[in-house]
Structure 1
Amino acid sequence: MSKTEEANEVKYKVAVKLLNIMLRNGIITSSEYEKIDDLNRQTFTPELSKVYV
């Protein structure tokens, strides 16, 4: 895995953590969570995205 791919993995995981916090605090709905997560997968293209589903 290249440094860019590793960085994308980390960025994606940070984004997921933030989404979870927002969901728990009622800032976003679960439907919005799913949409944003899908966009994050497209943006960061994590190698392990199949595992995260």
Structure 2
Amino acid sequence: MQVTKVTAGFQNQTAERKLFTDEELQREFDYYMAQKLLEKLREADQISEGELDKITAKNRQSFSPYLARIMP
């Protein structure tokens, strides 16, 4: 186990903030809702796991969610 000591200098560091436009927020919300619908379809066995993955990839292209580049 590694222990890191937090010092006063470390506390002053801040991460760069991303300010979202209304359009970007709407795309994030639309992507989230589309994914929730897909999850419900998968739970009801209306689509397969492979179809879920394919549709998710297309949704990421269509909606361009901010965190898509780090999503599995």
Runs of 4 or more consecutive aligned structure 1 residues displaced over 3 Å after TM superposition: none
- 2:40 counterpart residue number: 21
Larger radius of gyration: 2
- When normalised by structure 1's length, the TM-score is 0.92
| Matching of residue 48 in structure 1 with residue 67 in structure 2 | yes
Q: Which runs of 5+ in 1 are unaligned?
A: none
Q: In 2 relative to 1, CA 52–13 (structure 1 residues): closer, same or farther, beyond 3 Å?
A: farther
- When normalised by structure 2's length, the TM-score is 0.69
Q: Matched residues, percent identical?
A: 32
| Count of aligned pairs | 53
Q: Which runs of 5+ in 2 are unaligned?
A: 1-19
Give how far 1:31 is off: 0.1
1:15-52 Cα offsets, whole Å, 9 max, x none, are 00000000000000000000000000000000022454
Which structure ranks higher in relative contact order (CA pairs < 8 Å, sequence separation ≥ 6)?
A: 1
- 2:56 counterpart residue number: 37
CA distance in 2, matches of 1:50, 1:15: 18
Query: In the alignment, residue 46 of structure 1 is paired with which amino acid?
Result: P
* Secondary structure, counterpart of 2:47 in structure 1: coil
CA distance in 1, matches of 2:57, 2:65: 11
Q: Give the alignment's Cα RMSD to 1 decimal.
A: 1.0
CA distance in 2, matches of 1:15, 1:33: 11
